[in-house]
Structure 1
């Protein structure tokens, strides 16, 4: 078995050397061909090659500093440039997939070989660790040998060797107990330091990422379950300061993001498990380190690249989240001290931009962050829920930065963050169920809802002004976002109202909710032009409004009258219930005349049905209130109203509809009038006449006959007037009818 492995290894090396020589010859031939082609293009046929004109955009691109290696923060600061940020990563994976798979397979192969040797008891524990160290060192040596001609390949190979060393020391500590915890930690730190030096020497950012990742994973590798907080975060601080130095010296940005991710996770976990006042110092140090990291290009070239802006936003809000959580858990005051301090830091940078009279992207970013932090301070001072408030403010900040910079990274962040805000707000609303005796308005649940509502409303305004949302392709998202936003605002206020009315009779809660809903829709429709409400959404809201009017009239009005007559409610509730006529009258008088609602024929029927139900219902309510002295009087009075007065009301309304139809020339009014008359006549002959006494029957028939005759006379009169107007118009337009 051993001889076979040696033979296969030698054969592989021979094949590799042979093909490596051939590949190098092919590379030289391709380079020579490229040179000849370039000479032919630029010297032999100059008329076929045209240099692109130099523009301001190309000049800006040439003047923009380029980092020594590709990274997430290497995007140029051009608002109109829409690059695919993930394409470099996919290109890297496509070109190096086999290498990554190969080194992973090699590490697994070594592991399985060691396991096989252990199962056979070929080697002892110390020898096993020695083999792992030798294997890792050998792989690193191979990467060193290949680094000149295959830089990326060598970096991945070396990273695999580093991984072997890390896992070898970890196993030696955890499984074999060959080292003490401090010794194992010291060895891992030494490996990390060596790897960082190697990455700097090779000028390899990829290898630096491997090294830092191993350094941050080291505490987990040698953890024994003991809580040594001071040592852990002192070590992390040293790593972060080292990262910052490398970022300034080498302009490597991936290392900063790796460090930020690990540090945030460590701090968040420790803060949640062991809230200690000493953590504040490490939060402040972390804030300063990563703020300096984010402002690196800004200090050098007065530029804020997309991922630098994102780092500024994240480090502000993650630090505030942790620090405020610590203060609230430990019951320290004031909790707003850190948002205010961080806001002042950004305000100083804003003043610097203002003093230079440079009102560009950095100015907008610092202004947005400062305002957001002051807003968060106000929200937290009123004891709002931490996560929901900060996420809501942060989502608005992301949208504001997207609007100012047109960088798609912030659009994606907003798309991710806003649904999280909605979910967090849904969880916050459960506080109405779990909490008793909340103050009116000034309670944590509603104040948090107020922050979310304000942020959502600002989002609607910002989205309305974004160029990206003025074409038809993004109309669906814009409409969905508008519906969700209005829904959040509606539910936030409704839940607060219902919570404080929960002790009242159900009809009070129901009628108040209906009244609030009608006014809410009315306000949206009233300001529909300012809000740039979609036409379809406007029509849907009008239909919902009319349905709510019908439900409110049939249920709320009758229920309030019943409770008033029963003594459960004072009669003052009825005038309050009638307030719904304010939005109803305004919409009927003005809004319908200026909208596209009547382009749909069904809309006429919706309006006329609502008007008929509302008028009939309120006349019924007035009749009952004026005649009934007790709840027991309602049933006979209701029957009497239905038999005697309701047909008369419908006849009058039908006449009005017919008159409106003849005057406007709209057939739907005429149809509605005839349908109402038919319904009234059917009701009269099918039910009413059999329930009336003789006197009431005579009065009903006489009055109904008079109303029908008057309606018929009115119909004929209007018809004749219209015919005369048409004939006169035709005479005036006759070309033969001239005057000298």
Structure 2
């Protein structure tokens, strides 16, 4: 970037000059001033003249000279391409020899003038030359022999001059060509060239390690890319060609990296370099294990590589690895979603031991490592509790949840809808309660914890209303056995835990008034619905008498249940001197009265009406007594406060 800022005019100038010459040649061609051979000759002459000019300027204007030389080399490349493709002045082999000579010339000049700019021009020209002289027929053996030789030459230049950019550019173009090859025409020959170039670029990445016993950020990135891109591509090739075992390449690459781990261990050097080699080795071994269990390739490798990047970030504290991690992690999520989508078409998958869930398991394991690593990173960074980090945690816990949920739903997909529904909600309630139980260890902050409690209550309400309604209907129709109602009731375990430990005994949660009302509403719903379910199951003969039972319970028993609960709320509010609970109790009493006079009495028979009025009367009297007691307690408290204030003032 600094180079462009300082030399932007020179770059634009040489680009403009090349365009100007091109337009002049085009104009001459349009006017039929020159023939095809003459056009090519002019191009070669102008390119050579610019190179000679750059040569004479090199002493006093080194950078400017490099740009001029690069422009001249570009003209030679384009002239050769046009002479071959448009004018057919020479054969493909001749054109290729000319482009190789141009590349060799540019490499010699860049080395002679010690110019990294010029070697970059040479590199681009060298990799684009095959495209320039392509005739449309694929000769991959010839192409990759040339590219491998070019890479070896670039490695020698880099070894002598320490030009880091060369390795990155060469890696990009080489693997772009290789990727096109294996997609268009996968064959055994491409495996050999992958291995040759793995060795070349592995050596590129280790240049500083060999010379200075250190790995810089660029070296580490190249090391990670070489290992994982080669692994991914070779496994893809083996799968396409039907070869076995596919785990051979991650094991070979793990062994190569393991040798460096062993070397560092023998030196008793447990620095960041040791950690990087160890992380890569362990990641490759993990990929081998994942592949052995037939997990999905892309998802597993991306998940493991993302964790490796996070691990390297932790060990080196270089922010570039954090950036790469946050770029790759969304791709991991996308790949995982695509993997889950395969449940729709999958048939006869084993429980847990199947490719889809095992892939999810690999992702879950890497996620747990991610959370552990981020926890350690946040220990040294006060910004760890930011919104972004919290959102990242929520995403991770969501992936774990959906991985388990989708596997559960698939395995019970043949069961009635009510069983699937109840099972899914039970899993959700237990999962949230486990997160709340481990909240301190997982460093879930108060805001997220409150949000989880609210969400838990909402799911509980749906579970005891909609899910239970479906289940009761199936039990009455004999589609589902009575025993599954006992499984449905397991939700009471997490509900009691959350309600007692996270609501009643958590003052922070109850600082917000809405918390009292949501908690009370959930409790009233749970108690009412469960008594309602027991009443239906205990009295229903078949589905035909269900409407009558539902109506009878709603009119006679529901007001009594709500009235009793209102007394409990009022009493608890008085005992704890909590006005909010008392308000909830009186509100519930009000709902009962309105419901009774507005609807229930007009639907009852005489006996039920007498019983309802008597019970409601007793309840209202008790509520009135409690209210009067509440007023007296408040009055006494106020009188005591006034008396205390008066004594303090008199003493003063």
TM-score (normalised: structure 1): 0.84
Q: Is the 8 A contact 2:40 2:83 kept in 1?
A: yes
RMSD between superposed Cα atoms in Å: 2.1
Query: SS of the residue aligned with 2:441?
Result: coil
Q: How far apart, in 2, do the equivalents of 1:447 and 1:142 lie?
A: 64
Q: Find the partner of 1:269 among 180, 183, 193.
A: 180
Q: How far apart, in 2, do the equivalents of 1:663 and 1:144 lie?
A: 96
672 and 415 in structure 1: CA distance in 2 versus 1, 3 angstrom threshold: same
Task: Give ranges in structure 2 of 5+ residues lacking alignment.
Answer: none
1:534 matched to which residue of 2? 445
Give the drift of 1:522. Answer: 1.3
Q: How far apart, in 2, do the equivalents of 1:257 and 1:463 lie?
A: 29
Q: Is the 8 A contact 1:468 1:474 kept in 2?
A: no
Q: 5 Å matches for 1:426-437?
A: 426-437=337-348
Q: Find the partner of 1:479 among 375, 379, 390.
A: 390
Q: Is the 8 A contact 1:402 1:408 kept in 2?
A: yes
Q: How far apart, in 2, do the equivalents of 1:410 and 1:359 lie?
A: 20
Give the drift of 1:461. Answer: 2.1
2:269 matched to which residue of 1? 358
Query: SS of the residue aligned with 2:599?
Result: helix
1:374 matched to which residue of 2? 285
2:565 matched to which residue of 1? 653
The answer to whether structure 1 residue 694 and structure 2 residue 625 are counterparts is: no
Q: Find the partner of 1:147 among 30, 54, 58.
A: 58
The answer to whether structure 1 residue 460 and structure 2 residue 364 are counterparts is: no
2:506 matched to which residue of 1? 594
1:383 matched to which residue of 2? 294
Q: How far apart, in 1, do the equivalents of 2:607 and 2:578 lie?
A: 39
Q: Is the 8 A contact 1:662 1:719 kept in 2?
A: no
Q: Is the 8 A contact 1:643 1:692 kept in 2?
A: yes
Give the drift of 1:717. Answer: 5.8
1:594-629 residue CA offsets vs partner (Å, 9 max, x unmatched): 362212110110000000001100010011111112
1:167-205 residue CA offsets vs partner (Å, 9 max, x unmatched): 111111111111111111111111111110111000111
Higher deviation after alignment, 136-145 or 714-723:
714-723
Q: How far apart, in 2, do the equivalents of 1:595 and 1:276 lie?
A: 67
Q: How far apart, in 1, do the equivalents of 2:171 and 2:432 lie?
A: 45
1:125 matched to which residue of 2? 36
1:554 matched to which residue of 2? 465
Q: How far apart, in 1, do the equivalents of 2:87 and 2:80 lie?
A: 10
Query: SS of the residue aligned with 1:683?
Result: helix
Query: SS of the residue aligned with 2:382?
Result: coil
Q: Is the 8 A contact 2:559 2:596 kept in 1?
A: yes
1:279 matched to which residue of 2? 190
Give the drift of 1:721. Answer: 7.5
The answer to whether structure 1 residue 447 and structure 2 residue 358 are counterparts is: yes
1:32-57 residue CA offsets vs partner (Å, 9 max, x unmatched): xxxxxxxxxxxxxxxxxxxxxxxxxx
Q: Is the 8 A contact 1:469 1:478 kept in 2?
A: no
Q: 5 Å matches for 1:314-713?
A: 314-467=225-378, 470-472=381-383, 475-592=386-503, 593-594=505-506, 596-713=508-625
Q: 5 Å matches for 1:222-241?
A: 222-241=133-152
104 and 473 in structure 1: CA distance in 2 versus 1, 3 angstrom threshold: farther
Give the drift of 1:318. Answer: 0.2
Q: Is the 8 A contact 1:340 1:374 kept in 2?
A: yes
2:204 matched to which residue of 1? 293
Q: How far apart, in 2, do the equivalents of 1:404 and 1:663 lie?
A: 56
1:181 matched to which residue of 2? 92
Q: How far apart, in 1, do the equivalents of 2:434 and 2:507 lie?
A: 15
Query: SS of the residue aligned with 1:498?
Result: helix
Higher deviation after alignment, 146-155 or 317-326:
146-155
Query: SS of the residue aligned with 1:353?
Result: helix
387 and 559 in structure 1: CA distance in 2 versus 1, 3 angstrom threshold: same
Number of paired residues? 647
Q: How far apart, in 2, do the equivalents of 1:714 and 1:348 lie?
A: 80
Q: How far apart, in 1, do the equivalents of 2:337 and 2:65 lie?
A: 51
Give the drift of 1:718. Answer: 7.2
Query: SS of the residue aligned with 2:218?
Result: helix
Q: How far apart, in 2, do the equivalents of 1:309 and 1:401 lie?
A: 9
Give the drift of 1:211. Answer: 0.6
Higher deviation after alignment, 327-336 or 510-519:
510-519
1:703-726 residue CA offsets vs partner (Å, 9 max, x unmatched): 222233334445556776788899
Task: Give ranges in structure 1 of 5+ residues lacking alignment.
Answer: 1-88
1:138-165 residue CA offsets vs partner (Å, 9 max, x unmatched): 1111111111111111111111111110
Query: SS of the residue aligned with 1:380?
Result: helix
TM-score (normalised: structure 2): 0.95
Give the drift of 1:486. Answer: 2.1
Q: Is the 8 A contact 1:624 1:634 kept in 2?
A: yes
Q: Is the 8 A contact 2:206 2:219 kept in 1?
A: yes
Q: How far apart, in 2, do the equivalents of 1:539 and 1:107 lie?
A: 66
1:240-277 residue CA offsets vs partner (Å, 9 max, x unmatched): 11111111111111111111011110111111111111
Give the drift of 1:733. Answer: 12
